[in-house]
Amino acid sequence: MSMAIRPQQVHPVPEPLVAALEALRHELAIPDDFPPEVHDAAAAAAAAPRLPGTDRTDLELVTIDPEGSRDLDQAVLIEAVPDGFTLWYAIADVAAFVAPGDPVDLEAHRRGQTLYAPHQRTPLHPPELSEDAASLLPGVVRPAVLWRLGLDARGELVDTGVERALVRSRAQLSYRDVQDRLDAGTAEPSLQLLRTVGLLRERIERERGGVSLRIPEQEVVVEERQWRVVHRSALPVEGWNAQVSLLTGIAAAQLMLRAGVGLLRVLPPATDTAVQKLRVTAAALQIPWPDEVSYPEFVRGLDPSRGTHAAMLHACTLLFRGAGYEAFDGAAPQHREHSALATPYAHVTAPLRRLVDRYGSEVCLAVAAGRPVPEWALRALPQLPAEMEISGRRASAYERGIVNMVETLVLSAHVGQEFTATVVDVKEDGTRGTIVIREPAVEAGLKAPGLRLGSEIRVRLLSADVAAGRSEFEVVPGSTTR
């Protein structure tokens, strides 16, 4: 099951979680604030950025982000042209403010990425930059890395350009804003083209064998000061917006590979053994998977609202583990492709929130201009994969820890009650597994003999330890399963 703690307004912590959240942050060595010298350096940089000479404030760009976001990395504009589309994608230019080896840069390398929680953001860069001077907030001029991507009428990438430029976002929109406008038929032409291009790129992704798991995320939400976990499915516009980001990352990877230098986001291909294990799981769940149907085609046919299909999707997540980064300079990278996307891909679209993107952008800017990659960027490339692996593990542990705590907080008022659950994972011994409860949105371990993958069972909550983020269930004797 995937999980998310989305950028949003900061909320007070419920009393039962105060000590537990503080302990989690201490365990993972998550800092509470930036050192004074980093704040001072950020303030100085905000007052004197290195501005580009190109002015593209004429472009009617907008940002599209979760409600309440302040660290706005991307602004988009899509135009129809006679032979297809022109996609303008402005990315916050962090390097206009952060110099190699300065206090902000060194602290960013220690952090790796922004961490989100309902009560507190732990940003990669000080808020003077990430939520103000470097953020693509509406109505203000900002330095940006501006991508110009030419697409033909089918949505295929035919031309790539990238340069530094001044931009000005016209509006800060949320996903819900845009989806509502599209559904009502009142969206501006560029947003209508976002849907058009997004759908074309989704088709291209299917054709090349890419796959996305449509698993509802566990998301922590706060309503009337109450924290809870819900299962949330993405809005269609989130997928179309993600395709714009993916396309930019694909264009970036092409530039890097052409020049023989860069940093790719990679995922090794699944082994035949792993795919065969999934076929065995599908057979056990009685989900047809004909031999001639590929793995991506099979996954796209699964319905997460069905218990057996939810269990199958849970099993499929195993093939998505092991993603990392591959740095290269001169020699061809050992791994070139992100197997889930079925194409080479690089991270360049979220530099306010992710360290590697600043370096990926710098490589692409140099390659596109026909000049050498700056020495400071080349020196950093070899160490970035390890730095991002460390920060990625910390981010996953932080999110999982918070979700577990909120789950148990919600459950703590229901000890002794029964719930209907779906078994989405069973260990080899058949006595341990994972269950998902839809309401409240809970994922938990379960020990019981004879667990059957994909079955629906009745379980009783025995305990909910908020501090430990752990709940215990038992199967209700004689409960019906299917």
Residue 214 has pLDDT above 80, yes or no: no
Residue 420 has pLDDT above 70, yes or no: yes
pLDDT, tens digit, 9 for 90 and up, residues 5-40: 444 555 677 888 888 889 999 999 999 899 999 999
Across all residues in the chain, what is the average pLDDT? Answer: 90
Give pLDDT, residue 11: 63
Categorize the per-residue pLDDT at 72 as very low, low, confident or very high, splitting at 50, 70 and 90: very high
pLDDT, average across residues 143-171? 98
pTM: 0.89
Give pLDDT, residue 300: 85
Q: Which range has the worst mean pLDDT, 72-81, 182-191, 324-333, 430-439?
A: 430-439
Q: What residues form DSSP beta bridges with 122?
A: 115
Give pLDDT, residue 3: 45
Residue 231 has pLDDT above 90, yes or no: no
pLDDT, average across residues 247-256? 98
pLDDT, tens digit, 9 for 90 and up, residues 160-209: 999 999 999 999 999 999 999 999 999 999 999 999 999 999 999 999 98
pLDDT, tens digit, 9 for 90 and up, residues 357-406: 999 999 999 999 999 999 999 999 999 999 999 999 999 999 889 888 88
Residues above pLDDT 90, as percent of the chain:
62
pLDDT, average across residues 226-248? 87
Q: Which range has the worst mean pLDDT, 75-89, 96-110, 198-212, 355-369?
A: 198-212
Residue 481 has pLDDT above 60, yes or no: no
Bridge-based pairing of strands 456-465 and 470-475 is antiparallel
Give pLDDT, residue 224: 65
